[in-house]
Structure 1
Amino acid sequence: MDWLLAGLGNPGADYARTRHNAGFWTLQTLADRAGASLRMERRWRCLATRLHEQGLELGLCLPQDFMNRSGGPVRSMAAFYKVPVERILVIHDELDLPPGTARLKWGGGHGGHNGLRDLDRVFGTRDYWRLRIGIGHPGHKDAVIGYVLGIPTVTEKTRIDEAIARSLAVLPDFLNGRTDAAQKTLHSD
C-alpha cells in the first residue's frame, strides 16, 4: 500500500451530519467517486477500503472509535499494511479556516483537536501530512464543542463540499510527490 488516508470523525448516526465529521465526508466522497464500498474492519476498528488511483494503492480508514481515540484504528491499519507515518494523510475539520477553505500541511501542533492529539500520542510524532477542511469558528472558545458537534448551515455545507471537491482534485498531484503543485492549487482559493 502506497498511502493510507485517514478521515477523522465520530461514528454513528448522531454525529454523521456534524462539522466534526468533515474528514469522514471527504473519504466517503472519494470512495463514492471510485465506486468503492467502505466496510467495517473489526481488526482495525474502522470503516475501510482499498482503491487504486493514479497507479497507487490507497487505503482509506474511517476510525470507528470516537474522535479522541482515533489513533489506535489508524495505527492498526497502517501497521498491518506497513505504511510509514510519513505516508499517512490525516483529513480533519479545521476551526481556524472558514468553510470553503482547505489546506495541506506537513506536521505541526494539534491546535486543540482531540483527534490529532491522539494521533500524535500513538504515532509518537507530529510529523505527518494533514488535509485541513475548514469549518469556521463559532467566535468564542466556550462555544467550540457545541459548534463542532453541530450541523452546518446549508451555505456552510455547500462551501465545505466545494473545499472537499477541490481537495480531491489535487490529491493525484499530492500522492505522486508533487506536493508543491497540490498546495499551490489548493491554497489559491
Structure 2
Amino acid sequence: MKLLVGLGNPGATYARTRHNLGQDLLLEMIRHFQFPSGGKRFGGQFGDGRIDGERVFWLIPETYMNLSGEAVGALARFYRLTPEDIIVLHDDVDLACGKVRMKVGGGNGGHNGLKSIQQHLGSPDFTRIRLGVGRPPSGVDTAQFVLAGFSPGEHPLRDHMLTYLPPVLPLILNGDLAGAMNRYNLSQLPAPPGKKDSPWP
C-alpha cells in the first residue's frame, strides 16, 4: 500500500495559489486514474483506488499547511504505513516554475508542511515530489509570494506539471524516480515568462 499526500491550505482563499500546487496535482492524479470519490477522514479529504493492482490511498489535509503532519500521522498509524510508503506532493520555491525534482528523505527546505510531516512520522524518509513555483522577486516576502496565484505567464508551466506528471505516477509508486523524471523531462516544457508577465513591481 502507498499513500499520496497533496499539500495545500483549505478554503477558496487559497485555491490555485502556488502553495496549493501539491493539492492541485493530487486532484489531477485522482481524475487521471478515475479513483472513486473520497470522504472526510483523518482530518482531511481521504480516499483510495488501485493502480496496476496496488491499493493507493490519497489524502489532502484540511488543516493549515503547518499542521499537515497531524492528518498524515493519524492515517499512517491507522494503516500501519511506514515513511517509505508515503509520497508527498509539494510546492518548492528553490525550483523554477515548471521544474520538478523527486527524492527520498532530506531536509524540509523551510517548508512548514514537510516539517510537520517529518515531526509526526518521526522520520524524514518519505518520498518528496518537488514542484517548482520559482523564487519571489527581490523585496517580496516568501510567504506572501507562495500564497499568491500564478501570473498569467506562469499558467502554462503550472498546467504542464498537472498534465504530464499524473501519467508517470506508476513509476513513482514503484520507486523508479529516475524513470519518472526521465519521462517528465521528455515533455516539452513551455518557455518561462518574461518580466512583463510578473504581477510584482
Question: TM-score, structure 1 length as denominator?
Answer: 0.91
Contact conserved, 1:20 with 1:148, CA < 8 A, in 2? yes
CA distance in 2, matches of 1:89, 1:153: 28
Of 130, 133, 158, 2:131 maps to 133
SS in 2 for 1:83: coil
AA at the equivalent of 2:156: T
Aligned Cα RMSD in Å?
1.7
**Structure 1: gaps of 5 or more residues:** none
**Structure 2: gaps of 5 or more residues:** 190-201
1:187 deviates by 4.9
Contact conserved, 1:71 with 1:118, CA < 8 A, in 2? yes
CA distance in 2, matches of 1:170, 1:33: 11
Q: 1:163 to 1:11 in 2, by over 3 A?
A: same
- Across the two proteins, how many residue pairs are aligned to each other? 186
Aligned to 1:165: 163
Aligned to 2:196: none
Contact conserved, 2:4 with 2:88, CA < 8 A, in 1? yes
Name which one, 1 or 2, has greater alpha-carbon Rg.
Answer: 2
Deviations 1:33-72 (Å, cap 9, x if unpaired)?
233324222xx00101101112111101000000000001
1:182 deviates by 1.6
Greater shift, 134-143 or 165-174, is seen at 134-143
Aligned to 2:17: 18
Question: TM-score, structure 2 length as denominator?
Answer: 0.86
CA distance in 2, matches of 1:121, 1:97: 24
Deviations 1:8-43 (Å, cap 9, x if unpaired)?
1001111112110011101111112233324222xx
CA distance in 1, matches of 2:10, 2:137: 26
